[in-house]
Each structure stands twice: as structure tokens, then as C-alpha cells.
């Protein structure tokens, strides 16, 4: 696979005379792909049923004939203002019961069937018009599901949809009462239509109620997406994709991804460091203009799994954005670094957002490859340089990693419903796991709890995996030499009950969680020999050998038969010990990486990526600040 570059473009924002010049300049910059159309509904259909495709026909023609492959977006993330007059109840409602009004984007509730019908209508029309157009090389469906906290809606359509979904899941309301333990506070229902959405309750609602609503809400996204897929499939052979976001876990991306051909995501390293990452002030300062050294790679690896191997960066941050608490500029070299790092993780395309900074509306302070008045922004030259790098690089092939993390969206919903301690959340735990593996120089795969069994791993980690049901133990023991579970793995059933048969309930591991503790940030539980647990501790019993113990002699890690259970949320030192123990156990070579230097292996290369502001000398190679060193395996034994 030869990676390519692309860009996001909005012909409707610029006078038509500029299109051809823009297209030529894109090609000259080394770009091969251009995404258009995803916010253009008001120009395609200014009033109901009054369709204006002429401009879009010409835009596709101009871009395509210049040599660019077009990704055409369905415009359903931004219904025009008239849509609200047809469907006044289509807006989502927030947890406080407030209507989320028109005036920005994503102003729809996933449960509104009337709006879904409008979406399939416009998508059918577009599919019929452009489905066989050779210039349209891919389709993007909607835009950034879940962004702006839009997965979950407390609207009346959502309520009715939830009641139907529950009836379908549980069959009888008695079964639901039993499954949720509604006897607890006399919360038993006599019919499904008595069940309300789990917001605005006096104190916290039943976590089983919340988790069911979160599953329902995820399913509504899957169904919304599938409705468009079902329309487009017969009308085009071009691949269908969606652009996911960073650290948005509100719907099951594996399920949405199963209906699509390619996963893409929108990578904003500096914005995400600022607005959605737990890290101390020193770390955020050190990587302020580079982004967190593991955040991009994490999502690259995750979306590679969601896309079953096929994935892109659809929107690559090219400069300061407008939406984070602080919006500094990337350091010189970082746009190229991010692009090459994506390629190292298997991106087929890296597409910059956006071609030219808009001088108007919400994102006018969001940089592009060009300034609003058409001067080159710093990223333009870096895109050009990246294109040259890719030309030199040639074909690149991904290989299965030795190590995988089992990732499960529903676990995030579960622990958000009942965090037990304010410092605990699923992403934070999984990300700390991923960081630990990367500090050891490992390439990492993500796998899902469902789908085809994935085997051949030396090591699989499943931290915080809420529910171990079905054949999951079997899949783990078949899939790898050593599986590390915990903390908080197998802690609940799918209906959010503590399994009476014991937690985590593994037949091969004699180990049970009897009691759980959450801790404030200033308290750690030290482990004999070094490292500590923080935030969370499972207190373990059972006959499986203690591999590590806390200073009070209680088990910190127990294991047997290729199954380990980890009792706490490890700090960095404890993670490093556990990774080292596991590596020794399964004969996994480690490469200790300094802070900010990361390593990724492909079939043909070793990539060394330096997120720091100083050159790093490592294993005999000097990697410049904000730079990437690519070593061909045929010329290097090891890196």
C-alpha cells in the first residue's frame, strides 16, 4: 500500500473562479484526495425539494479533472433551517431537559424517524446522481458522530425508541425488573411505557437503567448510519466511510465500522492534549505544541481495528484550531511528523483540514494550509515535504503486532454510569496501558470483544473490561500466550449486576475480587519491590499464585495458566514492571523508549518519532526534534 495525502475543501465557501486554481495548487502540493460536500445541504436543497446540484456537478468536475479523487460527504450533519419547520421535534434534548437548538451543527436526535427519512431521501438522490461518477472515489456518511456530546438525547422520540428497544431486549417487563434489580428501591415497572429516560432522577438512577440507555443510544447511531449505507450500497462501488473523532466513546465504533469499508478519524493532536486528556501540568506544557506522544498512535491503532485494517486520517490538524481551551501553533515539523506517524500505523490517506482557512463563522480561527487571504500557512510546505517523503518511502505493509489490547466501548458506558471513584474512567485506564506498552517500544493492536477470534498474540491486555461473557475466556486463552486482566475486569454482567459466581469469574484462574476501593489522587498503594496502584484497588482472594503483593501483603497481581489478574490501576513504575514480567514470560523483546520518543514497526521499516523539542540519540540513531527517522529493515537488524 502506498499512502497518499488529501485535503478537505468547501467549494460552496469560495467563488467559483477560485476552484480551478485551488485544485491545481492542491495537486502541486502533492495531494491526491479532496473531501467535499458534508456541510452543504443548504446549498444543495435551499428549500424543500428544490435541488441545486449544478454547482456540485461543476465542483466535482473541476477537482476531479485536475487529478484529485473526490470523497463526497452526505450532508446529514447539518440539516438546513427549513428542516425544523417540517420536523419541529427533531432536535436532541440534553440531560437537563433543554432543547439543543439550531444555529451550529449536529442538531438532530438519532431517534427521530422523520429526520432519518429525510436523510435517506437526500442520500438516495445524491447516490443516484454521483454513485457511478468515476471522479467520486469514496463516500463519507455524515460527519463526526457523537461530536459535541450528541450521541445521547433525552427527547421524546428517544424515550419512545428506548421503550421499544427495551421491550425487544427483555421481552417482558418482569424480566427487566429482575435483570435490573428494580426491587432495590421499589423501582419496579408494570409496563415498558412506564420506563423513563434515566436523567433528572432525585439521586443517581439504577446503573442498569443507565447502561441500557447507553446501549440503546449507541444502537441508534449504528442504525442511523446503516440507513444511509443501505441506500448507497446499491448505487455505488466506491468505499463508504465515516470520520470518527478522538476520545469519543459514546457509541460502539466497531458496530458502526462493521457496516462501512474504511474507518477514518479526525486527528487534532494539540486540541486534544488541551481539552480531553488527563495529564499533569508539566506534561501538558512539555507537549503543548506537539500533542501527546501516544494519543495519535492510540487512535491510529484503534481505528485500524475499527476499519478491519483499512483506515485514514480524514482531518489532520494543520495549525492552531479554534475550539480548545488554548490553541497554540504546532512546532515546525509537527504536521509532517503527525502525517508520517499516521502512515507508520497504516493510514492509507492523510487528509488535512482544511485547504483554506475560512474567514467567517464558527471556525474562522481554525488554520488551514492557506490563510484566509490565500497566503501559504506553515503547514502547506510541510504537506509538500510529506508528499515527497511518501514518494521516497514507497510501499508499506502493516503486520500483526505481538501485543493487543482488548477494547470495549460498552465498558466506558458502564464505568461512566458507576465510576465508584471520580478518578476512574475506562479510557484513562486503557490509555495508561497503551502508554506502558509504547514506553517499552512495542507496536500494539486493538481487538474487539466480538467478531472473529484473533489469535497469534503473545500478550493480550483487557483492563477494565466490564463484562466477561460468552466465550471470552476461551478467546483470550486461544488468542495469546498470556492475557492480563484487571483492574475492574469481569466486574459486572451485561445487566450491570455483580456476578454472583464471582469476579472476574475465570475458570482457569483461581482469583476472586471480594472488595473494591477507590482512592483520592494523593494516595497510592505501594507494591513490594516498586511501583504502586492509584485510583483503584481490587482486593483479591483465591489460590492462584501471588505474582506481586502490596506492602500490606494483599495480592497486587495473581496469575496461573496464562491468565493474570492485576489488582489496581498501576502507576508508570508498576506498569513498567508488569510489562517487563509479561515480556519475560512470553519472550517478547522490549525497547525502552525515552520520554517523547516512540517506535513503530511495519513490514518494511522501523519508524522513530521524536515528539520532543530536542534531538534524541537512541540505539545509535539521532532523531531531530519534531522529526521522524525511518529505517529500512533490509538495512537494519534492529531498532
Instruction: Report, in Å, the least distance between residue 634 CB and a second copy.
Output: 39
Rounded-to-integer distance, Cα 502 and Cα 145, Å? 37
636 binds, among a second copy, Zn ion, none (CB under 5 to 8 A by kind): Zn ion
Which secondary structure element, helix H or strand E, spans residue 551, and what is its range? Answer: none
Q: Is 480 annotated as a binding residue?
A: no
Instruction: Report, in Å, the least distance between residue 31 CB and a second copy.
Output: 21
622 binds Zn ion (CB under 5 A): no
Nearest to 192 by CA among 180, 174, 210: 174
Is residue 549 classed as helix, strand or coil in its secondary structure? strand
Piece of 433-441, 485-493, 576-584, 629-637 that binds Zn ion (CB under 5 A)? 629-637
Binding residue (CB under 8 A) for a second copy from 67, 359, 456, 529: 359
Q: Looking at beta carbons only, is 135 or 288 nearer to a second copy?
A: 288
Nearest to 153 by CA among 211, 105, 237, 90: 90
Q: Are the beta carbons of 629 and 636 closer than 8 angstroms?
A: no
Q: Are the beta carbons of 208 and 240 closer than 8 angstroms?
A: no
629 binds Zn ion (CB under 5 A): no
Rounded-to-integer distance, Cα 212 and Cα 200, Å? 16
509 binds, among Zn ion, a second copy, none (CB under 5 to 8 A by kind): none
Piece of 87-95, 187-195, 524-532, 630-638 that binds Zn ion (CB under 5 A)? 630-638
Binding residue (CB under 8 A) for a second copy from 135, 516, 586, 590: 516
Is 144 marked active-site? Answer: yes
Piece of 220-228, 335-343, 365-373, 576-584 that binds a second copy (CB under 8 A)? 365-373
Instruction: Report, in Å, the least distance between residue 236 CB and a second copy.
Output: 23
636 binds Zn ion (CB under 5 A): yes
452 binds a second copy (CB under 8 A): no
372 binds a second copy (CB under 8 A): yes
Rounded-to-integer distance, Cα 346 and Cα 333, Å? 20
Instruction: Report, in Å, the least distance between residue 616 CB and Zn ion.
Output: 14
Nearest to 343 by CA among 144, 607, 629, 595: 607
Nearest to 36 by CA among 50, 22, 47: 22
Rounded-to-integer distance, Cα 306 and Cα 261, Å? 10
**What does each C-alpha distance from 393 to 4, 69, 282, 605, 633 come to in angstroms?**
11, 21, 35, 9, 12
639 binds Zn ion (CB under 5 A): yes
Is residue 6 classed as helix, strand or coil in its secondary structure? strand
| Per-residue binder mask for a second copy (CB under 8 A), 55-84, x = binder | --------------------x--xxxxx--
* Closest-approach residue to Zn ion (CB): 636
Sign of CA dihedral 558, 562, 566, 570: positive
Residues 301-330 touching a second copy, rule: CB under 8 A, are: 319-320, 322-323, 325-329
Q: Is 143 annotated as a binding residue?
A: yes
Residues 252-291 touching a second copy, rule: CB under 8 A, are: 274, 281, 284-285, 288
76 binds Zn ion (CB under 5 A): no
597-601, strands of its sheet edge to edge: 597-601, 605-610, 627-632
Question: In the Cβ-directed half-sphere of 376, how many Cα atoms lie within 13 Å?
Answer: 11
Residues 526-555 touching a second copy, rule: CB under 8 A, are: 539
69 binds, among a second copy, Zn ion, none (CB under 5 to 8 A by kind): none
639 binds, among Zn ion, a second copy, none (CB under 5 to 8 A by kind): Zn ion
239 binds a second copy (CB under 8 A): no
Residues 414-433 touching a second copy, rule: CB under 8 A, are: 418, 420-423
375 binds a second copy (CB under 8 A): yes
Nearest to 148 by CA among 197, 115, 107: 107
Other beta carbons within 10 angstroms of residue 272's beta carbon come to 22
Runs of H (alpha helix) within 418-511: 426-439, 472-479
Task: State how beta strands 532-541 and 524-526 pair.
Answer: antiparallel
Catalytic position from the list 38, 118, 144, 382: 144
Q: What is the DSSP string of 145-162?
A: TTTTT-S---SHHHHHHH
Buried b or exposed e, range 475-492, using 16+ CB within 10 angstroms: bbbebbbbbbbbbbbbbb
632 binds Zn ion (CB under 5 A): no
Q: Is 323 annotated as a binding residue?
A: yes
580 binds, among Zn ion, a second copy, none (CB under 5 to 8 A by kind): none
Q: Is 8 annotated as a binding residue?
A: no
169 binds a second copy (CB under 8 A): no
| Per-residue binder mask for a second copy (CB under 8 A), 339-358, x = binder | ------------------xx
Torsion of CA 445, 448, 453, 454, to 10 degrees: 0
Rounded-to-integer distance, Cα 462 and Cα 219, Å? 23
Instruction: Report, in Å, the least distance between residue 107 CB and a second copy.
Output: 5
Helices 173-180/207-232 angle, 10° precision: 120
Residues 84-103 touching a second copy, rule: CB under 8 A, are: 92, 96-103
Residues 553-572 touching a second copy, rule: CB under 8 A, are: none
133 binds a second copy (CB under 8 A): no
451 binds a second copy (CB under 8 A): no
Taking only Cα atoms into account, the Rg of the chain, rounded to an integer number of angstroms, comes to 25
Is 348 marked active-site? Answer: no
Instruction: Report, in Å, the least distance between residue 307 CB and a second copy.
Output: 26
What are 533's strand-pairing partners? Answer: 525, 570
Instruction: Report, in Å, the least distance between residue 532 CB and a second copy.
Output: 14
Q: Are the beta carbons of 323 and 271 closer than 8 angstroms?
A: yes
| Per-residue binder mask for a second copy (CB under 8 A), 173-202, x = binder | -------xxxxxxxxxxx---x-x-xxxxx
Q: Looking at beta carbons only, is 115 or 618 nearer to Zn ion?
A: 618
371 binds, among a second copy, Zn ion, none (CB under 5 to 8 A by kind): a second copy
Residue 188 makes CB contacts below 8 A (sequence gap 6+) with 177, 182
Report the catalytic residues.
144, 315
Q: Rule CB under 5 A: which residues touch Zn ion?
A: 636, 639
Annotated binding site for substrate: 105, 143, 323
Tell me the binding residues. Answer: 105, 109, 143, 323
Residues annotated within a binding site for Zn(2+): 109
Amino acid at each position: 500500500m502506498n499512502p497518499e495525502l488529501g485535503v478537505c475543501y468547501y467549494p460552496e465557501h469560495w467563488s467559483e473562479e477560485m476552484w480551478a486554481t485551488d485544485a491545481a495548487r492542491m495537486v502541486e502540493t502533492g495531494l491526491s484526495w479532496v473531501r467535499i460536500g458534508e456541510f452543504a445541504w443548504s446549498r444543495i436543497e435551499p428549500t424543500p425539494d428544490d435541488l441545486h446540484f449544478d454547482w456540485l456537478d461543476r465542483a466535482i468536475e473541476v477537482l476531479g479533472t485536475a487529478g484529485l479523487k473526490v470523497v463526497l460527504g452526505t450532508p446529514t450533519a447539518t440539516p438546513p433551517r427549513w428542516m425544523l419547520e417540517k420536523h419541529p421535534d427533531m432536535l436532541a434534548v440534553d440531560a437537563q431537559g433543554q432543547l439543543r437548538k439550531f444555529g451550529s451543527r449536529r442538531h438532530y436526535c438519532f431517534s427521530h424517524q422523520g429526520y432519518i427519512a429525510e436523510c435517506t431521501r437526500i442520500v438516495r438522490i445524491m447516490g443516484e446522481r454521483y454513485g457511478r461518477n468515476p471522479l467520486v472515489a469514496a463516500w463519507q456518511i455524515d460527519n463526526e458522530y457523537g461530536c459535541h456530546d450528541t450521541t445521547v438525547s433525552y427527547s421524546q422520540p428517544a424515550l419512545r425508541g428506548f421503550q421499544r428497544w427495551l421491550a425487544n431486549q427483555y421481552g417482558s417487563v418482569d424480566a427487566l425488573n429482575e435483570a435490573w434489580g428494580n426491587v432495590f428501591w421499589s423501582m419496579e415497572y408494570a409496563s415498558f411505557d412506564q420506563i423513563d429516560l434515566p436523567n433528572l432522577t432525585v439521586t443517581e438512577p439504577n446503573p442498569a437503567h443507565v447502561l441500557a440507555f447507553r446501549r440503546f443510544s449507541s444502537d441508534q447511531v449504528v442504525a442511523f448510519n446503516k440507513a444511509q449505507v443501505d441506500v448507497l450500497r446499491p448505487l455505488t462501488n466506491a468505499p463508504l466511510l465515516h470520520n470518527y473523532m478522538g476520545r469519543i466513546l459514546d457509541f460502539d465504533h466497531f458496530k458502526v465500522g462493521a457496516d462501512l469499508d474504511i474507518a477514518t478519524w479526525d486527528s487534532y493532536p494539540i486540541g486534544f492534549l488541551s481539552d480531553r486528556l488527563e495529564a499533569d501540568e508539566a506534561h501538558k506544557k512539555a507537549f503543548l505544541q506537539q500533542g501527546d506522544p501516544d494519543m495519535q498512535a492510540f487512535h491510529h491503532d484503534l481505528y485500524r481495528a475499527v476499519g478491519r485494517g483499512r483506515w485514514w486520517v480524514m482531518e489532520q490538524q494543520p495549525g492552531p484550531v479554534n475550539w480548545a481551551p488554548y490553541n497554540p501553533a504546532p512546532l515546525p515539523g509537527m504536521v509532517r511528523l503527525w502525517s508520517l506517524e499516521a502512515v507508520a500505523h497504516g493510514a492509507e490517506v492523510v487528509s488535512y483540514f482544511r485547504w483554506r482557512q475560512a474567514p467567517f463563522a464558527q471556525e474562522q480561527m481554525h488554520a488551514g494550509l492557506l490563510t484566509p487571504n490565500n497566503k501559504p500557512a506553515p503547514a502547506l510546505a510541510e504537506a509538500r515535504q510529506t508528499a515527497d517523503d511518501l514518494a521516497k518511502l514507497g510501499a508499506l505493509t502493516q503486520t500483526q503486532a505481538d501485543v493487543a489490547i482488548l477494547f470495549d466501548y460498552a465498558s466506558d458506558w458502564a464505568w461512566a454510569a458507576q465510576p465508584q471513584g471520580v478518578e476512574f474512567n475506562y479510557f484513562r485506564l486503557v490509555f495508561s496501558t497503551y502508554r506502558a506498552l509504547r514506553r517499552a517500544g512495542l507496536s500494539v493492536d486493538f481487538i474487539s470483544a466480538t467478531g472473529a477470534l484473533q489469535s497469534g498474540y503473545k500478550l493480550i491486555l483487557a483492563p477494565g473490561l466490564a463484562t466477561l461473557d460468552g466465550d471470552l475466556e476461551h478467546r483470550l486463552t486461544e488468542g495469546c500466550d498470556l492475557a492480563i486482566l484487571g483492574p475492574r475486569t469481569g466486574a459486572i454482567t451485561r445487566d450491570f449486576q455483580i456476578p454472583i459466581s464471582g469476579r472476574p469469574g475465570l475458570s482457569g484462574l483461581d482469583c476472586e475480587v471480594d472488595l473494591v476501593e477507590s482512592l483520592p489522587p494523593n494516595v497510592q498503594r505501594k507494591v513490594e519491590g516498586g511501583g504502586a496502584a492509584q485510583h483503584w484497588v481490587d482486593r483479591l482472594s483465591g489460590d492462584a499464585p501471588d505474582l506481586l503483593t502490596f506492602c500490606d501483603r494483599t495480592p497486587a497481581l495473581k496469575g496461573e495458566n496464562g491468565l493474570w489478574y492485576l489488582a489496581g490501576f498501576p502507576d508508570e513504575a508498576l506498569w513498567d514492571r508488569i510489562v517487563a514480567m509479561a515480556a519475560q514470560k512470553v519472550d517478547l523483546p522490549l525497547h525502552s523508549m525515552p520520554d517523547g520518543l516512540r517506535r513503530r514497526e511495519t513490514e518494511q521499516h522501523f519508524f522513530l518519532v521524536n515528539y520532543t523539542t530536542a534531538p534524541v540519540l537512541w540505539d545509535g540513531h539521532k532523531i531531530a526534534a519534531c522529526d521522524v527517522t525511518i529505517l529500512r529493515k533490509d538495512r537494519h537488524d534492529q531498532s
